[in-house]
Structure 1
């Protein structure tokens, strides 16, 4: 199956995330949770977390499935992630 991927380019100067934050992202992807991701540029993306990967610029990204297709968001460009878990309050993971 072919998926169209949309890339988000982040400029240099972004810092690395912590191991704990990376672990949270891995768990979110493992369970395919619905998420709202807000980037450092305050862009909002909503979808289902699918996987982590390296994009064509060798940036580590989270891959989410949106209504427009698959979207790769660099982890070092994320401000926070809201995680929507069934029958639970929204969980927020702050990156910056």
Structure 2
């Protein structure tokens, strides 16, 4: 079984969003949309990586390999958009 992962450069953008607590809009490959404050990245025992965001629904986990686009909603952020 080959493990799907995202490129390191793209991973760095997610880490920056978490480090600064950016508010982000995530568009998934299936066109689902999530918005919230980027909190952390967690890795499961199966080596699957998830971005944790906090929003009105509480904490949500979004698998990194499902991301199509991340837009930063926080003003004056270091970047505005990342396409995966």
- Normalised-by-shorter TM-score class: 0.7 to 0.9
The question of whether the paired residues in 2 share the 8 Å contact of 1:34 and 1:46 is answered with yes
Taking structure 1 as reference, are residues 56 and 14 closer, same or farther at Cα in structure 2, changes over 3 Å only? closer
Structure 1, unmatched stretches of 5+, are 1-12
Q: Distance in 1 between matches of 2:56 and 2:73?
A: 17
Q: Please give the root-mean-square deviation of Cα atoms over the aligned residues, in Å.
A: 2.1
Structure 2, unmatched stretches of 5+, are none
What are the Cα deviations for residues 26-54 of structure 1, in whole angstroms up to 9, with x where unaligned?
00000000000011110000000000002
- Residue 56 of structure 2: aligned partner: 67
Q: Any residues of structure 2 matched to 1:35-54 within 5 Å, and which?
A: 35-54=24-43
- Residue 66 of structure 2: aligned partner: 77
TM-score norm. by structure 1 comes to 0.76
- Residue 86 of structure 1: aligned partner: 75
Taking structure 1 as reference, are residues 69 and 34 closer, same or farther at Cα in structure 2, changes over 3 Å only? same
- Residue 12 of structure 2: aligned partner: 23
The question of whether the paired residues in 2 share the 8 Å contact of 1:26 and 1:52 is answered with yes
TM-score norm. by structure 2 comes to 0.86
Q: How much does 1:59 deviate?
A: 1.3
Q: How much does 1:65 deviate?
A: 0.2
